[in-house]
Structure 1
Amino acid sequence: MNQKTRILIVEDDMIIAANISVQLSNLGYEVMGIETRGEEAILHARANTPDIILLDINLKGAINGIEAAIEIQKSKKIPIIYLTANSDEATFAKAKATHPYAFISKPFNNLDLQRTIALVVDQIHENSAEVKDISEHFEVLVDRIFVRHNGRMVKLLLDEILYIEADRNYSNIITSSGNYLISTTLKVVEKEIKSHMFIRVHRSYMVNIAKLDVVADNHLEINRKVIPISKSFKEHLLKHLHTI
């Protein structure tokens, strides 16, 4: 690898942490450090921005690994790989909500670690290439986005967007004044738009919940457009509607 992937290890068992550090170094990665507490991991991540954080869920101290990840993600988008010996559903659900790149269950062997890190590094490289391509067609700010339209970048306020519809590898942004087709998948658009007002309701639709006119059992309506709701997204949508 031309530029070494930098990895922060957060593990309160120093024997395990030292073993991981040796393995990663032997595989050609750069170990940025070993932290044993969630509070220290947060400070380290904010100051140094590692490429990957190997994060034990069950840390000693005031906060656990999941809580540390939440704090880190408030200011940094750093891929997380959880290390865990705890496989109960409640813990898994909390960890999953932080969108980790992978889980490694303890005890693990060298091959488990090697393969998981390699897969995550590949994902990071793919996402970086995708983001570079996105920047030429789609840029997100706090309250607006810029999209390439007719050879120029056009500003769209998030409040103006009614819904966004997938069209294979493209997304069609629908506003009350016009439509804007961008060469970016809906999955990527969903990742980039951080506003809590935009909710995925179907594999092909993302809606601005402030623009909803009708919420029925199996569909929504926005500006007379009927939009289907998938069962897998319905509960998430209803929770958001109850909070606004």
Structure 2
Amino acid sequence: MNTENIRVLIVEDEAIVAMDLAAGLESEGYEVAGIADNAEDALQLFREEDVDILLMDISIMGERDGISVAGEMMEQRAIPLIYLTALTDAETISRAKHTRPSAFLTKPYTLTNVRIAMEMAMHNFAASQEPGGKVIPLQPEKKETESVDTGKETILQLKDYIFVKHNYAFVKVRLSDIRYIEADNNYIHLVIPGNRMLLRLSMNQLLEKINYPRLVRIHRSFAVNMEHITAFTDYEVRLDQQELPIGRSYKEDFLRNFNSR
């Protein structure tokens, strides 16, 4: 399965709390990139690990507090930041605001509260990243004779990745790993090496709203990643052993992607 779980860095000075939170997040499908209880260890993990979201306690061991450490981390690279703390005084909140956190959860918190805050943080962070980040509400396109289905799914794009909801967590899919997309009414199959993911949206919604020009429509039911094509004829494209049809009305647009000499 060629997807990646969202990687979380936990900075918490209470070991039992940190381990309990880590176990809960892993059971929900997240991956814990590391646990630290002080500034030095937290900064080292942040530099060395691929971290997607930061859970930061404000009261940590050592001379520096979590706000100071989070501020330094955000200067290195911006990711969604959530504070987990028992401190709610005006001065602390004012200082925390300068690091632009996505959420501020007071202790004691529940796993559900943290999970919801993480989902909202991913949404808001993706929306704030221009032009590389987008939040795309995924919902079957409404026909005039149909009512809108309120059961929405969400997909996020951040630069070279999309984040697809799987159970309670998002998983990362590198755009270049997408081999092709197959439409099935109001659903699509997103085909990547080792996996075929079913998403509840139309082909048009995905192709119009994500920023990845190498995904090209070749048929009313298929779009292909040009990087994975190994051969093609007037009637089909080949991705290794997989053959996909080229629709007559899409052939000209498909051929424009090649530089003729």
Aligned residues: 133
* Offset of residue 100 of structure 1: 0.7
* Structure 2 equivalent of residue 79 of structure 1: 80
TM-score (norm 2): 0.48
Mapping 1:204-215, distance limit 5 Å: none
Amino acid at match of 1:114: R
Q: Are residue 61 (structure 1) and residue 71 (structure 2) matched? A: no
Mapping 1:1-244, distance limit 5 Å: 2-127=3-128, 130-131=131-132
Distance 1:3 1:74, change over 3 A: same
Identity fraction in percent: 34
* Offset of residue 120 of structure 1: 1.4
Cα displacement string for residues 172-198 of structure 1 (whole angstroms, at most 9, x for unaligned residues): xxxxxxxxxxxxxxxxxxxxxxxxxxx
Are the counterparts in 2 of residues 46 and 76 from structure 1 also a CA contact under 8 Å? no
Distance 1:50 1:35, change over 3 A: same
What SS is found at the alignment partner of 1:93? helix
How many angstroms apart in 2 are the aligned matches of 1:76 and 1:119? 19
* Structure 1 equivalent of residue 205 of structure 2: none
How many angstroms apart in 2 are the aligned matches of 1:2 and 1:122? 19
Structure 1 gap ranges (5+): 134-244
Cα displacement string for residues 104-159 of structure 1 (whole angstroms, at most 9, x for unaligned residues): 110011221121112112234444574258xxxxxxxxxxxxxxxxxxxxxxxxxx
TM-score (norm 1): 0.51
Are the counterparts in 2 of residues 49 and 76 from structure 1 also a CA contact under 8 Å? no
Amino acid at match of 1:63: R
RMSD after superposition? 2.0
* Offset of residue 42 of structure 1: 1.2
Structure with greater helix percent? 1
Structure 2 gap ranges (5+): 135-261
* Structure 2 equivalent of residue 218 of structure 1: none
Are the counterparts in 2 of residues 39 and 63 from structure 1 also a CA contact under 8 Å? no
Higher mean C-alpha deviation, range 101-110 or range 113-122: 113-122
Distance 1:21 1:51, change over 3 A: same
Amino acid at match of 2:27: N
Compare relative contact order (CA 8 Å, sep 6+) and give the higher one, 1 or 2. 2
